[in-house]
Amino acid sequence: MSAAQIEKTFAAWPQVEPTVRVPHNDREYRQLVKLLDRLIDEVGDDENHPLASLMEVLGVLIEKYEDEHVPEPV
């Protein structure tokens, strides 16, 4: 990643952060799940879609939250 790309990321982060963040409570978790559902509708199975990597990142954040906070069904 170039210095210019990093600077663009830093500049964009304040606008992105309220939406894409590590969930620390159930409300934030549900917001991420809702966003992921919208992305799935938009992206589908298209791995080349510009938003596919965002979908993957959200999936990882959601999975981590579930592993730590959602009990396994018995």
Amino acid at 19: T
Tell me the pTM: 0.85
All residues at 6 or more sequence positions from 46 whose CB lies less than 8 Å from its CB, including other chains: 52
| Best CA proximity match to 21, nearest among 34, 31, 10, 12 | 31
* Residues in the chain, pLDDT under 50: none
- Tell me: the pLDDT tens digits for 17-29? 999 999 999 999 9
> For residue 7, what pLDDT is reported?
95
* Domain residue extents for the chain: 21-74
Provide the pLDDT for residue 73: 77
**What's the confidence (pLDDT) of residue 1?**
81
12: tokens are: 């964009």
